[in-house]
Structure 1
Amino acid sequence: SDPLGQQLNQVKGEKNEYYGFTSFSCLSTYAEYVPMWRLDWLKEAGYKMTNLVPLTSEAYPEFVNKVYFSNTKFTLEDVKEIYRAFTQDDPDGNGLDDTYGSVYTGTDSDVYNSYVMFGFVNDENYFYLDPELEDYVPYFAYSPYRDCLKFITEMLDRGFMRPLPDNNAVEEELSAVWKNGKIGFMNAISGSSILGFDEQAMNRLPLSILQSDPEATFVVTPAPGTDGKFKPYRTFDWNPECTYPVGIQVSDEKLERLMQILEYSYFGEDWLRYKLGISGVHYVWAGEPLQSSVIMDKPENIPPKYSGLGTPVFGQFGNIDFIDDTKIYFGYDAFTTQLVTYFDHYNQGGYYANSFWIRPGKYYSEYTMPETLYDRFTVTKEKTYKDIMAVHDDFVKKVWAGEIIHMDNEWDEYIRQIYGAGLKSWVDIWNSKQIDTFDEF
């Protein structure tokens, strides 16, 4: 019933004929990073968080009641005031002027204090219906991008966000800054890095801080900002880059048998046995089965008759190429499992609701638009991209140099110039009703 899935790997000019099985996942509802605040600092500043629920960790039980979930959603004005308080009001109580609201690198490692707060991503394949222009435009002509730049420059100018140089070691620099425990709002790597079994967890938030400050507490919230939403790892769950091709020589009988095997090993109730092994032998549940974390046993503890061929661990047969359940996909990792459960309960519409995730208005790909318009736009973009980016780069250079005094006026002139440089020809294509909106998929 999915219109996009029915187009992938389809034999051109033929109905209901495909080259193979296209894989899919849950990655359109998975966030690589999550917004993480210092809960102890928020309390010090007088903020009361709603529906606080602690994260339970089997990997680090000594840090019980240190990380929480809350459905408190801070507005843009809230964030500004919180950053101010974190910077000026000595939230750690050491009497020194050594704390900041957040840091800024301009990379994907700190998206929740920049464009994600304003409901968009810096992906040029995303086109948004601009509320002022009433055109479908890429992010760099989208009016919330202007508002994002205004927010960032204000926070940097007032000293509430600490800038870090944009270089090849951004993650390392961010990790070092966060480890000092002097930043109030951070972008934490999601999944098993958060009090989980990931081997890098000790070097990542929040453990990197808890090792030196065991009294610190943290809270994960929805994306801040009135229009803020979680940034998905992928736009769609379908993945045409991962396909199981079927040879033309395969008979209908063999194809039917192949599909039975795939259904049994990838979709059936026994999938976990093929992926993880036998409960009680290769792993145990930390709590309620299918609702808590999986704790894998050490390879040396597995009896020889249950170990994998040529390895002491269980041989993998089932994989995640056809798994659309986030909890299963990430092996029932404690943080991911509890994050999904929490927001499924406390977010209106649940964790998987599109309103919880950033989505494009329209999306540029060969699968989401008529072939003629796809080809036309590809050629148009190739001809005009350099001139359009020259206008954009010049504007952004002025922004970071502090040369923009009246952003709204300068933005209007920027839009006039960028349309004249070729964006108008983009808009003429993307406004076409022949291109379906994301909601159609």
Structure 2
Amino acid sequence: MRRLDLRDTSVDYRDIVPRAEVDVEQALAVVVPLCDDVRTRGEAAVLDAGERFDGVRPDALRVPEDELRRALADLDPAVRAALEESVARLRRTCAAELEESVTTVVADGATVERRIVPMDRVGLYVPGGLAPLVSTVLMNAVPAQVAGVREIALASPPQAAFGGLPHPTILGACALLGLTEVYAAGGAQALAMLAYGTVSTGGDVEPVNLITGPGNIYVAAAKRHLQGTVAIDSEAGPTEIAIIADVTADAAFVAADLISQAEHDPMAASVLVTDSEDFAARVDVELEKQVPATTHTERIRTALDGPQSATVLVRDIEQAIDVANAYAAEHLEIQTADAAGVAARITNAGAIFVGAFTPVSLGDYAAGSNHVLPTAGCACHSSGLSVRAFCKNMHVVTYDEAALREVGGHVVTLAAAEDLPGHGEAVAVRLAR
């Protein structure tokens, strides 16, 4: 990886930290006509796009339930056991995060309830390009189920190798979770199908209220375009890892973790932030040793050599914390002498992994945390996917006559101050009784 020396730098780190060159606006030029076509022609447009981009045209978009049951029956027992453990841990954290409705007594006879209401219907997207991301099925579906979402639709790209169905491991995970509405549709066309529905064009897909799940740049562009028609979790782009490490860290561990995210995508970002040139050199040695031994060597080398990846040299851990908060990584590992103390000072990260034995890969699968996280610096204002994303807050206001009389005069006064006399009259007519 290239070196970026910030030891004598005091400028805004946001302007110089490594970042993938992702042009969502350019992708919109492809995505907008595609989404418009799906809105106009429905399922036929989705199938046409699948044939064009995925190289296969399924017999139907919806996956038959017997195929889901077959995929579950054929699931490798070890994979099933791992999925079940991951689900159990994720359900525990989701249940703990689920908020309860709260009623406040504002005055005698006056209450305001903040009611937690799950979404009626959501759409989940699971990529299937370079890897069958079976774990993403869990990360999307389990929080939705714990939240109490009534209807869950899931889309994943059709695979030519499997007769136009999504990858069988993905289908097995869907069946394991009891998901029955599964579609063989990928990319922007899948998101448009979920957002617009296809009922108006003669299909069977009902529109959803919310779409969650990661994807490539075209999926991110589709989310940007469809937002407003439907709610989204975030415009998740290429994955990224940042690691704050000092001389106490294990270079082999750090190198392996940088590789783990580079394995996702040639545009994935791997960033090491360290105050030790000697340690940076040891990590380089480990990378040269470990990368050739991996399965996806070419993909990993492309990611590590790209402009989005670098070893960032800093003066000390204080500067490392500032750089990390400016970078706002999707995944941030801390491998320092006082990892917990450093973690406590991080304000911008999708998820933080503390200590030498908490690699990002643990969070990808079985930590109990969620791996659908904000990328591209969006962790400075956005959060990872959780049960809360599938819920709404709704105020329920109840006043009796005496309570309205107590405060009604103030309402009339404020309405007059805003030159909205009709507002005041809606109260005054009641006070006159």
Please tell me the TM-score bracket, short chain as reference.
under 0.3
Larger proportion of strand: 2
TM-score when normalising by structure 2: 0.24
Larger proportion of helix: 2
TM-score when normalising by structure 1: 0.24
